[in-house]
Protein backbone atom coordinates (compact mmCIF):
# COMPACT_ATOMS: atom_id res chain seq x y z
CA UNK A 1 0.00 0.00 0.00
CA UNK A 2 1.25 3.50 -0.84
CA UNK A 3 0.89 6.82 0.96
CA UNK A 4 -1.08 8.12 -2.03
CA UNK A 5 -3.62 5.30 -1.74
CA UNK A 6 -3.91 5.92 2.00
CA UNK A 7 -4.38 9.67 1.49
CA UNK A 8 -7.01 9.31 -1.23
CA UNK A 9 -8.71 6.48 0.65
CA UNK A 10 -8.90 8.58 3.82
CA UNK A 11 -10.43 11.58 2.09
CA UNK A 12 -12.78 9.44 -0.01
CA UNK A 13 -14.04 7.85 3.22
CA UNK A 14 -14.43 11.27 4.86
CA UNK A 15 -16.26 12.77 1.87
CA UNK A 16 -18.56 9.77 1.33
CA UNK A 17 -19.40 9.61 5.03
CA UNK A 18 -20.00 13.36 5.21
CA UNK A 19 -22.32 13.42 2.24
CA UNK A 20 -23.97 10.22 3.43
CA UNK A 21 -24.77 12.02 6.67
CA UNK A 22 -26.04 14.94 4.59
CA UNK A 23 -28.49 12.59 2.91
CA UNK A 24 -29.55 11.18 6.29
CA UNK A 25 -30.23 14.66 7.67
CA UNK A 26 -32.28 15.55 4.58
CA UNK A 27 -34.20 12.27 4.86
CA UNK A 28 -35.02 12.85 8.51
CA UNK A 29 -36.08 16.42 7.74
CA UNK A 30 -38.46 15.02 5.12
CA UNK A 31 -39.86 12.34 7.43
CA UNK A 32 -40.51 14.90 10.18
CA UNK A 33 -42.21 17.28 7.75
CA UNK A 34 -39.59 20.01 8.03
CA UNK A 35 -39.33 20.01 4.22
CA UNK A 36 -41.65 18.53 1.64
CA UNK A 37 -42.45 18.42 -2.05
CA UNK A 38 -39.78 18.60 -4.76
CA UNK A 39 -37.38 20.48 -2.48
CA UNK A 40 -37.33 17.51 -0.12
CA UNK A 41 -36.25 15.29 -3.00
CA UNK A 42 -33.61 17.80 -4.09
CA UNK A 43 -32.12 18.04 -0.60
CA UNK A 44 -31.82 14.25 -0.45
CA UNK A 45 -30.37 13.75 -3.92
CA UNK A 46 -27.85 16.61 -3.99
CA UNK A 47 -25.54 15.06 -1.36
CA UNK A 48 -26.29 11.58 -2.67
CA UNK A 49 -24.71 12.23 -6.06
CA UNK A 50 -21.43 13.21 -4.40
CA UNK A 51 -21.73 10.14 -2.20
CA UNK A 52 -21.99 7.96 -5.32
CA UNK A 53 -18.78 9.41 -6.79
CA UNK A 54 -16.74 9.34 -3.58
CA UNK A 55 -17.84 5.79 -2.71
CA UNK A 56 -16.51 4.56 -6.05
CA UNK A 57 -13.15 6.23 -5.30
CA UNK A 58 -13.16 4.68 -1.82
CA UNK A 59 -13.66 1.19 -3.23
CA UNK A 60 -10.88 1.83 -5.76
CA UNK A 61 -8.55 2.55 -2.84
CA UNK A 62 -9.67 -0.60 -1.04
CA UNK A 63 -8.85 -2.50 -4.23
CA UNK A 64 -5.41 -0.93 -4.54
CA UNK A 65 -4.64 -1.64 -0.87
CA UNK A 66 -5.80 -5.25 -0.95
CA UNK A 67 -3.14 -7.98 -0.65
CA UNK A 68 -2.67 -10.21 -3.67
CA UNK A 69 -4.72 -13.09 -2.26
CA UNK A 70 -7.65 -10.74 -1.65
CA UNK A 71 -7.54 -8.83 -4.95
CA UNK A 72 -10.29 -10.86 -6.60
CA UNK A 73 -12.77 -9.91 -3.86
CA UNK A 74 -11.81 -6.26 -4.14
CA UNK A 75 -12.16 -6.34 -7.92
CA UNK A 76 -15.68 -7.74 -7.63
CA UNK A 77 -16.46 -5.09 -5.00
CA UNK A 78 -15.22 -2.29 -7.25
CA UNK A 79 -17.41 -3.61 -10.06
CA UNK A 80 -20.50 -3.32 -7.85
CA UNK A 81 -19.40 0.14 -6.65
CA UNK A 82 -18.92 1.28 -10.24
CA UNK A 83 -22.42 0.11 -11.21
CA UNK A 84 -23.86 1.89 -8.18
CA UNK A 85 -22.04 5.11 -9.02
CA UNK A 86 -22.98 5.13 -12.71
CA UNK A 87 -26.63 4.26 -12.14
CA UNK A 88 -27.19 6.83 -9.42
CA UNK A 89 -25.25 9.52 -11.27
CA UNK A 90 -27.78 9.14 -14.08
CA UNK A 91 -30.78 8.97 -11.75
CA UNK A 92 -29.81 11.92 -9.55
CA UNK A 93 -28.58 14.15 -12.37
CA UNK A 94 -31.82 13.51 -14.25
CA UNK A 95 -33.90 14.37 -11.19
CA UNK A 96 -31.93 17.48 -10.21
CA UNK A 97 -31.51 18.96 -13.69
CA UNK A 98 -34.63 17.81 -15.56
CA UNK A 99 -37.41 16.53 -13.33
CA UNK A 100 -37.41 18.73 -10.22
CA UNK A 101 -37.14 22.05 -12.13
CA UNK A 102 -40.17 21.08 -14.23
CA UNK A 103 -42.15 20.05 -11.16
CA UNK A 104 -41.32 23.41 -9.56
CA UNK A 105 -42.68 25.10 -12.72
CA UNK A 106 -45.91 23.05 -12.37
CA UNK A 107 -45.00 21.06 -15.45
CA UNK A 108 -44.51 17.70 -13.75
CA UNK A 109 -46.89 15.89 -16.09
CA UNK A 110 -44.38 16.16 -18.93
CA UNK A 111 -41.90 14.07 -16.92
CA UNK A 112 -44.33 11.93 -14.93
CA UNK A 113 -42.57 8.70 -15.92
CA UNK A 114 -39.37 10.03 -14.35
CA UNK A 115 -40.81 11.15 -11.02
CA UNK A 116 -38.77 9.95 -8.02
CA UNK A 117 -41.56 8.29 -6.08
CA UNK A 118 -42.18 4.78 -4.68
CA UNK A 119 -43.37 2.45 -7.41
CA UNK A 120 -41.92 4.57 -10.20
CA UNK A 121 -39.14 3.61 -12.62
CA UNK A 122 -36.22 5.71 -11.34
CA UNK A 123 -37.08 5.00 -7.70
CA UNK A 124 -36.77 1.27 -8.42
CA UNK A 125 -33.50 1.75 -10.30
CA UNK A 126 -32.17 3.76 -7.36
CA UNK A 127 -33.07 0.93 -4.97
CA UNK A 128 -31.20 -1.54 -7.17
CA UNK A 129 -28.17 0.75 -7.15
CA UNK A 130 -28.13 0.84 -3.36
CA UNK A 131 -28.25 -2.95 -3.42
CA UNK A 132 -25.08 -2.82 -5.54
CA UNK A 133 -23.52 -0.42 -3.01
CA UNK A 134 -24.10 -2.91 -0.22
CA UNK A 135 -22.79 -5.78 -2.33
CA UNK A 136 -19.60 -3.78 -2.92
CA UNK A 137 -19.08 -3.58 0.85
CA UNK A 138 -19.87 -7.27 1.28
CA UNK A 139 -17.33 -8.41 -1.31
CA UNK A 140 -14.72 -5.87 -0.21
CA UNK A 141 -14.71 -7.18 3.38
CA UNK A 142 -12.47 -10.25 2.76
CA UNK A 143 -9.94 -8.09 0.89
CA UNK A 144 -9.17 -5.67 3.72
CA UNK A 145 -5.42 -5.69 4.25
CA UNK A 146 -3.64 -6.83 7.45
CA UNK A 147 -6.27 -9.42 8.31
CA UNK A 148 -4.89 -10.02 11.78
CA UNK A 149 -5.25 -6.42 13.00
CA UNK A 150 -8.05 -5.55 15.42
CA UNK A 151 -8.79 -2.35 13.51
CA UNK A 152 -9.15 -4.23 10.24
CA UNK A 153 -11.41 -6.79 11.91
CA UNK A 154 -13.75 -3.97 12.90
CA UNK A 155 -13.73 -2.62 9.36
CA UNK A 156 -14.54 -6.05 7.95
CA UNK A 157 -17.37 -6.44 10.44
CA UNK A 158 -18.81 -3.06 9.46
CA UNK A 159 -18.54 -3.93 5.77
CA UNK A 160 -20.27 -7.26 6.30
CA UNK A 161 -23.06 -5.56 8.28
CA UNK A 162 -23.55 -2.98 5.54
CA UNK A 163 -23.48 -5.65 2.87
CA UNK A 164 -26.03 -7.80 4.70
CA UNK A 165 -28.78 -5.20 4.34
CA UNK A 166 -28.46 -5.06 0.54
CA UNK A 167 -31.09 -7.77 -0.17
CA UNK A 168 -33.54 -6.00 2.15
CA UNK A 169 -33.06 -2.66 0.36
CA UNK A 170 -33.83 -4.26 -2.99
CA UNK A 171 -36.51 -6.52 -1.53
CA UNK A 172 -38.33 -3.50 -0.09
CA UNK A 173 -39.13 -2.47 -3.67
CA UNK A 174 -41.31 -5.58 -3.88
CA UNK A 175 -42.41 -5.87 -0.24
CA UNK A 176 -42.27 -2.44 1.48
CA UNK A 177 -42.16 -3.75 5.10
CA UNK A 178 -38.56 -4.79 4.42
CA UNK A 179 -37.77 -1.07 4.47
CA UNK A 180 -37.61 -1.33 8.26
CA UNK A 181 -34.50 -3.51 7.91
CA UNK A 182 -33.09 -1.67 4.89
CA UNK A 183 -33.32 1.57 6.88
CA UNK A 184 -30.42 0.32 9.00
CA UNK A 185 -28.34 1.84 6.18
CA UNK A 186 -28.42 5.10 8.14
CA UNK A 187 -26.35 3.34 10.82
CA UNK A 188 -24.23 0.81 8.93
CA UNK A 189 -22.95 3.19 6.26
CA UNK A 190 -21.62 5.99 8.51
CA UNK A 191 -20.01 3.44 10.83
CA UNK A 192 -18.30 1.72 7.90
CA UNK A 193 -17.15 5.04 6.43
CA UNK A 194 -15.70 6.28 9.71
CA UNK A 195 -13.84 3.03 10.35
CA UNK A 196 -12.41 3.04 6.81
CA UNK A 197 -11.22 6.63 7.27
CA UNK A 198 -9.48 5.66 10.52
CA UNK A 199 -7.96 2.58 8.89
CA UNK A 200 -6.50 4.51 5.95
CA UNK A 201 -5.20 7.25 8.22
CA UNK A 202 -3.49 4.70 10.47
CA UNK A 203 -2.04 2.89 7.45
CA UNK A 204 -0.64 6.17 6.10
CA UNK A 205 1.27 6.74 9.34
CA UNK A 206 2.91 3.32 8.96
CA UNK A 207 4.08 3.68 5.36
- Please, what are the averages of pLDDT over each run of 10 residues along the chain (207 residues)? 94 98 96 93 97 98 93 97 98 97 93 94 97 98 76 92 97 96 97 96 86
CA dist., res. 83 & res. 69, Å (int): 24
Picking from 112, 108, 91, the residue whose alpha carbon sits closest to that of residue 45 is 91
Predicted pLDDT of residue 204: 87
d(CA 78, CA 57): 9
Global pTM value: 0.94
Amino acid sequence: ITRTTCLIGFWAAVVSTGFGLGYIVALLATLTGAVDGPWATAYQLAPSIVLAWSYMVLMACVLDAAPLEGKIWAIIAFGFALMYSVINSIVYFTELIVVIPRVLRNNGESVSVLLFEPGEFLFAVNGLAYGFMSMAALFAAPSVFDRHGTQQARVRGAMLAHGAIGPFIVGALVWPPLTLIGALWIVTFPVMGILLAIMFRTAKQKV
